[in-house]
Structure 1
Amino acid sequence: MPRITKEDKARNRQNIVEAAGRMFRSQGIDAVGIAELMKEVGLTHGGFYNHFASKDALAVEVCGASFAASLGGLAHAIEDGAGEAGTPLERVVAGYLSPAHRDAGDGGCPSASLVVDAGRHSEAVQRAYADGVEGYLTGFTAEFQREAEESGQELAPEKARQRAIRLLSELVGAVVISRAVRNVEPELSDEILQAGRSHGLD
């Protein structure tokens, strides 16, 4: 039997994290079994423990990796600056509260898709989630202050952070509720997203 190289092991670990990220965000952490996950990546059930001490350890890594990818998208939107589609934050709100994000097969941004799971799992998972939330708040706060400065207004850091907290809370809440009703009340689901897009930065 051929030996597994370090590169193969690293690739297998990455495949597990990526598959778990999709499955945890779309189905919930508790709904995904290790056997099901390892089958998804073409590996044996027992092989899981060559990479992670527990499912909880995997959940911590998935949460961190998922937020890192999502925050990378936020940073990219901010770096692009204003454009035809509006300010960076307007584009973020429009994308977050879009039907495509609501209907994302992989659950989309972890701030909404893992919000309930984080509260039900270990402190380590909650810490990874909290770090991701803090990343969003830091980015939003900085952008609110930049926009204020650009328009010649003064915005105290604590006020900018309060606006950031409100914005993230409204984004996550709107997506979670719109997902909860989309199958039985699709028009209500769309209405929730539309209201959020219209008033998200008010």
Structure 2
Amino acid sequence: MGRVSQAQAQENRRRVVATASRMFREKGTTVSVADLMKAAGLTHGGFYKQFDSKEDLVDEAITHAFDEPGAHSPVRRPVPPTEPEATRQTLIDDYLSVWHRDHAGEGCPVSGFAADLGREPDQATRAHQVYANGVRNLAAQLATADDDGMAQFCTMVGALTLARATRGNPLSEELLQAARTALTQNSTAQPEPQQHTD
């Protein structure tokens, strides 16, 4: 009986962390414990049997989001790893899609947690390194021979954030398209410096 109880407790904790990861990305870490537990289908009092504080849950939720398979690719379309430019283009298209704009809770944790970590730099101290690694990993997926991908990634996150803030206005889609166009043109322009000969 004790094993079943322990297994259930572990499952409840997993469910709370997964729910928090989604809700925090969608609504911010200001989501109340009561609302979070209700969404997870558990009682408010059960939270304190599982976590020392909400800050601990924020850390776990951020770490969970980055550990999810495909955390950096919201639509998760399969692309052969032997085709780096196709992989890069798919990432850009998926990241700057209307679907990703409208599904923050299921989307990239970099854009999903940026505002909260920026406002409360000490709130989720253990997660900061996880977050920084996530930023670097996604930027690396955009890298080309002469570009580390960081500026491209900044363009993507900025465009997505602005598109979410203007959702419902035609400007929202314009922002997504402008970023896709800029990144695609940037890609086609990048090989040019390598064509110079000595």
**Shared topology, TM-score over 0.5?**
yes
* 3-state DSSP of counterpart to 1:114: helix
Amino acid at match of 1:191: E
* 3-state DSSP of counterpart to 2:68: helix
2:26 touches 2:104 (CA, 8 Å); kept in 1? yes
C-alpha root-mean-square deviation of aligned residues, in Å?
2.7
TM-score for both structures, normalised by structure 2: 0.79
Q: CA deviation at 1:132?
A: 2.6
TM-score for both structures, normalised by structure 1: 0.78
Number of corresponding residues: 182
Gaps of 5+ in 1: 149-154
Q: CA deviation at 1:73?
A: 4.8
1:169 to 145, 154, 165: 154
- Distance change (3 Å), C-alpha of 1:170 and 1:182: same
Taking the TM superposition and a 5 Å limit, the aligned residue runs for 1:18-37 are: 18-30=18-30, 32-37=31-36
Gaps of 5+ in 2: 187-198
Q: CA deviation at 1:41?
A: 1.7
Q: CA deviation at 1:34?
A: 0.8
2:165 to 180, 183, 195: 180
Alpha-carbon distance in 1 for matches of 2:45, 2:134:
35
Taking the TM superposition and a 5 Å limit, the aligned residue runs for 1:90-101 are: 90-101=89-100
Amino acid at match of 1:45: H
Identity of aligned residues (%): 31
Alpha-carbon distance in 2 for matches of 1:200, 1:47:
47
Alpha-carbon distance in 2 for matches of 1:167, 1:51:
40
2:25 touches 2:112 (CA, 8 Å); kept in 1? yes
1:77 touches 1:88 (CA, 8 Å); kept in 2? no
Which position in structure 2 is the counterpart of 1:151? none
Alpha-carbon distance in 2 for matches of 1:135, 1:36:
28
Taking the TM superposition and a 5 Å limit, the aligned residue runs for 1:141-180 are: 141=140, 144=143, 148=145, 155=146, 160-161=147-148, 164-180=149-165
